[in-house]
Structure 1
Amino acid sequence: MNGLARKLVAEFLGTALLVAVVVGSGIAAQQLSPGNVGLQLLENSTATVFGLAVLILVFGPVSGAHFNPVVSAADWLLGRRQGTGLSATELVSYIPAQVAGGVVGSVLANAMFDLSVFQISTHDRITSGHLLGEVVATAGLIAVIFALARSGRAALSAATVGAYIGAAYWFTSSTSFANPAVTIGRIFSDTFAGIAPGSVLGYIAAQILGAALGLAAITWLYPGSAATADNVTVPHESAEQLPASS
């Protein structure tokens, strides 16, 4: 298996497991704390914080642990002038792997809790406040990731990104999806963590806008960001550096 294939498998598995954590913990929260939405959100966000941190540590050295199309796109865009970050080929390969992983993660969570495997969510989330929440959540996520890379602290990304997402569950009205692949994946579970198809395009548009704002802020605050694009989300080897299988 060549280096790019390894990266794509890492992004697929990482995103699938991330969505399985988000959706699975949401299902468990519904079952364990019926009628108590605040406690459900606490249970859901706590599992996500720890799950995301572990997944970054496991898959980060292979692919960078993006698990998120807007992170991958920002990494590609930021590194264009200096030849760092993702290549165009990697970018257009990462995104389908991440989206496919998101869908599989929801299906896996449904199956683990003995629910109908294939579901479509009826949980409408589209309000102006939710969309603003997604802009803020995604802008903050991009700023955190690239600030750590620029300041030589990318090794702290597992804990820091997990902590930010956990906090953003609570300070944003949307509960911080901040990820188009996760958003699409969560269509396929009609549970606490799901999102109705009619809300998805608005969320993704808000996420793209948020990513652009976060990237604009970080390039102004850290003018040398392009030189560190290879360290997003965590330092990892290029496809050419990854050892070939025997």
Structure 2
Amino acid sequence: MRRRLLAEFLGTALLVTVVVGSGIMAQTLSPHDVGLQLLENSTATVFGLAVLIVVLGPVSGAHFNPVVSMADWWQGRQSGVGLTAGELASYVVAQVSGGIAGAVLANAMFDKPAITWSTTDRASAHLWLGELVATAGLVLVIFALTRSGRTAAAPLAVGGYIGAAYWSTSSTSFANPAVSVGRAFSDTFAGIAPASLPGFVAAQLIGGVVGLVLVHGLFGRPAAGTPEPVIPHPDSR
């Protein structure tokens, strides 16, 4: 379990480092072109996420996202394979801690104060809807792969989905409470004001439920021994 928690902490930290760091770099390289900044930021995120899933998936499953872990716990109640309630709590703590650490690291690498609270307001109903859609789609992609026995495609599919959602959702697809919390610690391109977090996290949690409902509608109840998301790992129950 210690190794799994380290993998979740490290994976979430590096994911946020990629998101925040590439956002800072994009602002530096393309200071007058927001569209190009988003392209640079999303491209780095797609590749970074795919690599992290490949490298750390065999250790912890490569959730890096409390919504994915919660969905895994819920599915495991029916399939017998998934996180226990205690493991879920530990995963969430590791992920949120990793998200904060990743933002602090990115700030430090670009010679900014370790903690600079974001002032980017993202508190609007259309953005919350975007987050709901982005998170529901992410859960649908991940669990459709596990339910159909195609988890080997997860790095490509998950990375590709997040890249597409960057451009097709109004919120630019945070789709992750731990990443959202981490991004509040950096007043840069990828930041979100702390006051905007409750709405985003609520939308993400609702999106996770919607995604699971869609998965159940498409595939029915999970059978015993259904693989864990995102990548099955040796410690699966």
Answer whether contact 1:150 1:228 (CA < 8 A) is retained.
no
**1:142 is matched with which residue?**
139
AA aligned to 1:77 is: W
Structure 1 Cα separation of the partners of residues 176 and 31 of structure 2 = 27
Aligned residues: 237
Aligned counterpart for 2:109 among listed residues 95, 108, 112: 112
**1:243 is matched with which residue?**
none
**1:101 is matched with which residue?**
98
AA aligned to 2:77 is: R
Would you say 1:81 and 2:96 are equivalent positions? no
Structure 1 Cα separation of the partners of residues 79 and 224 of structure 2 = 7
AA aligned to 2:116 is: Q
**2:127 is matched with which residue?**
130
Aligned counterpart for 1:177 among listed residues 169, 174, 179: 174
**1:207 is matched with which residue?**
204
Answer whether contact 2:79 2:225 (CA < 8 A) is retained.
no
What's the CA shift for 1:226? 5.0
Would you say 1:18 and 2:9 are equivalent positions? no
What's the CA shift for 1:82? 2.9
Distance 1:197 1:227, change over 3 A: same
Structure 2 Cα separation of the partners of residues 168 and 43 of structure 1 = 14
**2:39 is matched with which residue?**
42
Answer whether contact 1:70 1:179 (CA < 8 A) is retained.
yes
RMSD across aligned C-alpha pairs, in angstroms? 1.1
Unpaired runs of 5+ residues, structure 2, are none
What's the CA shift for 1:165? 0.2
> TM-score, normalised on structure 1?
0.94
Answer whether contact 2:116 2:185 (CA < 8 A) is retained.
yes
AA aligned to 1:168 is: A
Would you say 1:237 and 2:234 are equivalent positions? yes
Name segments (4+ residues, structure 1) moved above 4 Å. Answer: none
Post-superposition Cα deviations, 1:199-232, rounded to whole Å, max 9, x if no partner, equal 1000000000000000011011111435455430
> TM-score, normalised on structure 2?
0.97
**1:90 is matched with which residue?**
87
Residues 162-171 or 227-236, more deviating: 227-236
**2:5 is matched with which residue?**
8
**1:64 is matched with which residue?**
61
Structure 2 Cα separation of the partners of residues 146 and 239 of structure 1 = 16
Structure 2 Cα separation of the partners of residues 77 and 30 of structure 1 = 40
